[in-house]
Amino acid sequence: METTHTPVMEALGITKLYPGTVALKDVDFSVYPGKVNVLIGENGAGKSTLMKILAGIEKPTEGKVLLDGREVHFANTREASGHGVGIIHQELNLFPEMRVADNMFAGKEVNNYGVIDRKTQAKLAVKVLDKLQPGINPSEMMRNLRVGQQQIVEIAKTMLEENLKVLIMDEPTSSLSNAEVEVLFKLIEDLKAQGIAIIYISHRLEEIIRIGDFVTILRDGHRVADAEVKDISINWIIEHMVGHSNLTIEKIPYEGEHEPVMTITDYTLPRLGGGYTVDHASFTLHKGEVLGIYGLMGAGRTELVECLMGLHPESTGTMVLAGETIARPTITGQIARGMVLVPEDRQRDGLVQTMSIANNLLLTSIPQFTKNGVIRKDQCKKAVDCTVHDMQIKVADVKHQITSLSGGNQQKVVIGKCVMANARVFMMDEPSRGIDVGAKTDIFILMRRFAAQGNGVIFVGSELKEIITVCDRVLVMSNGKLTADLSGTEITEAALVAASAANLFTGKAATIEGSVVQ
Amino acid sequence: MSTAKQAKPQTQVSLGMLLLKGRTFIALAILLIFFSFRAPNFTEWGSVVLMVKHASIYGLLALGMTMVIITGGIDLSVGSIVGLTGMMAGGMLIEGIHLPWIAGTIYPNVPLILLIVFALAVFVGFCSGQLIARLKVPAFIATLGAMYICRGAAMLRSGGATFPNLFGDAAKGNLGFDLIGAGSIPGVDVPYSIIIFIVMALIAAFIMKKTPLGNQIYAVGGNERAAQLSGIKINKVKVFVYIFSALLAAMSGIIMTSQLRAAHPANGESWEMNAIASVVLGGTSMSGGVGTIGGTIIGVAVITVLNDGMIMMGVSSFWQMVIKGVVIIVAVVIDLVQKDLQKKAALVARLK
């Protein structure tokens, strides 16, 4: 990128490994003073990890961080803030039962020989708070403040440091009302005017266009693009976020009848505080079909498949699965009927990290391999070896811990577990997230194979190319609603992007991240 | 990152790691050698049998506790279940069961007493399990409550008094209670209590290793959400481990009462702590998912040898407590260090 500015902070060649995943691979990132430096990417792209490294929460496995041209190694956030690098987390780190001023000085209390000097604290707090938004009383209890005000206190906390240079904001608008967002944006303008560099992380593309100056896009732990915001559009961002991998997967046709395996009508999941996370969704899945569900973060895709699996008892709608009408799905019931879910977050929901590869594969199906209630070791071994071979899981020994595998192979284990449970309907939520290209291709070939064997496959994805390459039919979801049902040649990037943005600006819902599973 | 290299850290087992892994066993060996030289009578057959008898009573609790802790829970109620079941058995033996509607009292025979007591324990375990699994009460709180309730119930049964002389009465047809704890297989001098422990340990190990239930116990403790999404009925698994734990506590209570030939409501006080200590010494992780019955048995042996050895050496009971505390903390610290080293080794190996 051509620019005349000198960065205040730079990350050079950052690599970060976690057990099972490469979170960042050789990433460079420059932060310019007096500008909003946007960091964007889908979940798992590595934004949070990069942010944590800059703020001193995590240490990079390789690479270095420069501040004002000098290399720095922050041991913790305290040290980082001492150097003028502050961070505001998405989850506010505040103590609701403490006063505003005590919150601001928590951990760095002004004291006289160990006795807190509340007067001076209050004075300092007012000085900073008034600069941001007058009217917050420093002796008010934190819990009495509105979320927007609480966020201002968080910002004020970082501004107590005299020499604040870089302020990292992780999804600062995710819990704010529209009016509060306006206040925040005004505040950001003020901070810019003071020459402070803002690192801004958000999923809300319209916000980025509005307040961003520079944008850096991460995908799968790699930096894929950066640009000045004035030169780009939302579509440009989406294209780069979701990728241009050159995938070719042979769509092996299914020879049998394309009869329906599952029909759902009016599936609805109400959201706390009004509206719907899943808004009256209806569709049919056929035998031998890979059905894509495309949409941006928070469009309700994950929640939709979770409802079908029985994870949200408060959802309503009717489901006919293999000819049987199911009023109230339960996880065990759905698995018994042959429906499986490969969850979005394989570390949290897919794997038991303390168990071996073999035992993870056997999690669901182990009761099949028993005689009079006793596990038949030989049968288990045969079945596991067969699955490992069939799915080309690269293992040295199936008795090793699951965490010894790479992300792609871990994902294959999660899918293998479903295969061993004799699944007929595969619902795969972002199965290609955070794994290398080779493993991705393997997993797409597997999906086509499941379909060719006469199963129904649902592929929830956010990478356009992947969806287009793998699916026979694509449903597009936006703000909880299904906005398009495309098949064959109708499935184009333009059509998908248009449909996924169809509801984007009308509601806030489409950008609230994450899902809550009871 | 190449997949071929990932397995390497596990195939190269260093001597240091081996020593770390077998540390409880090594500690046991050192203790045995130490006390053989320093404690009089330590190696006599009588003392050995006595120690094994002690180990059996504590060990029963530790077996159940192992399963509970592997699911990620804790069971603080087992000590008071020991007291309660002893009191119930003693009461039925001495006073019988009063039936108001026939205005009379029946005296159940010993097998029936055992059945009733075990049923009571199952009920207690079932209640704790339901609270923890369905109402999501933290295990610590649910079993703490159960602990107080059972201890209080044990006191209420006799108004705090002891039921002495539990030999039974030929006229009442309830002879033989004292044989459970005192009796032994004729000829070989192995007490029934030891046999019961061995049988229960085998059953517990069998469940953990050979049945789907055992696998599911590990899975629930390792990652409850993943277990649930894999179709494991996590509530049933949890309720089972608390029932099993309470049942083993009842067995322990019966054996102890039978050996003493008297039931006292304060019996078994703070035994849950002994059980937890043994389980942790045996390498079971308090955060769940990791642990073995075999490890727990070694843990029980360490605690018992330490206890009885110090008594035989004449160490004051106050010092005994201090030393036990130090041993437990050191064991857990070593455990954490080992895990940390393993994790680092695995990451470093992947970077290459």
The string of DSSP letters for B78-90 reads HHHHHHHHHHHHH
CATH homologous superfamily of A9-242 equals P-loop containing nucleotide triphosphate hydrolases (3.40.50.300)
From chain B, pick out residues whose CB is under 8 angstroms from the CB of A362.
Answer: 215
Interface test with B, best of A62, A302, A359, A366 (most B CBs within 10 A): A366
- Binned at pLDDT 50, 70 and 90, residue B8 comes out as very low
Q: β-pairing, A316-321 with A260-270?
A: antiparallel
- Binned at pLDDT 50, 70 and 90, residue A455 comes out as very high
| pLDDT one-digit tens code per residue, B35-81 | 888 888 888 888 888 899 999 999 999 999 999 999 999 999 999 99
From chain B, pick out residues whose CB is under 8 angstroms from the CB of A397.
Answer: 7, 10
Q: Please compute the mean of the pLDDT values over residues B301-311 and round it to a whole number.
A: 91
From chain A, pick out residues whose CB is under 8 angstroms from the CB of B347.
Answer: 17, 19, 61
Which of the 8 DSSP states describes residue B138?
Answer: -
Closest Cβ opposite residue A406 in set B3, B10, B233: B3
Domain map (residue ranges) of chain B: 43-270+285-291
Q: Specify the pLDDT at position A508.
A: 41
- Binned at pLDDT 50, 70 and 90, residue A506 comes out as very low
Rounded to a whole number of angstroms, the distance from the CA of A26 to the nearest CA of chain B is: 13
Q: Specify the pLDDT at position B2.
A: 39
Is the CB of residue B121 less than 8 Å away from at least one CB of chain A?
no
Check CB contact under 8 Å for A375 and B211: yes
ipTM above 0.90, yes or no: no
Architecture of domain A260-338+423-511: 3-Layer(aba) Sandwich (3.40)
Instruction: Please give the C-alpha separations between residue B152 and each of A202, B91, B114, in angstroms, as whole numbers.
Output: 57, 15, 21
Numbered ranges of CATH 3.40.50.300 in chain A: 9-242, 260-338+423-511
**CB-side exposure of A346: number of CA atoms within 13 Å?**
29
Tokens representing A276?
């719907």
Report the range of poorest mean pLDDT among A19-28, A425-434, B2-11: B2-11
Check CB contact under 8 Å for A352 and B289: yes
- Binned at pLDDT 50, 70 and 90, residue A75 comes out as confident
Radius of gyration (Cα) for chain A, nearest Å? 25
Q: Please compute the mean of the pLDDT values over residues A400-414 and round it to a whole number.
A: 86
B15: exposed, middle or buried (Cβ count in 10 Å: 0-12, 13-18, 19+)? exposed
pTM of the model: 0.77
Instruction: Please give the C-alpha separations between residue A94 and each of A75, A160, A169, A230, A316, in angstroms, as whole numbers.
Output: 22, 15, 15, 36, 36
Rounded to a whole number of angstroms, the distance from the CA of B238 to the nearest CA of chain A is: 16
Q: Please compute the mean of the pLDDT values over residues B207-231 and round it to a whole number.
A: 94
Q: How far is CA B165 from the centre of its chain?
A: 27
- Euclidean distance between CA atoms B36 and B29, whole angstroms: 11
| Residue in B with minimal Cα distance to A404 | B6
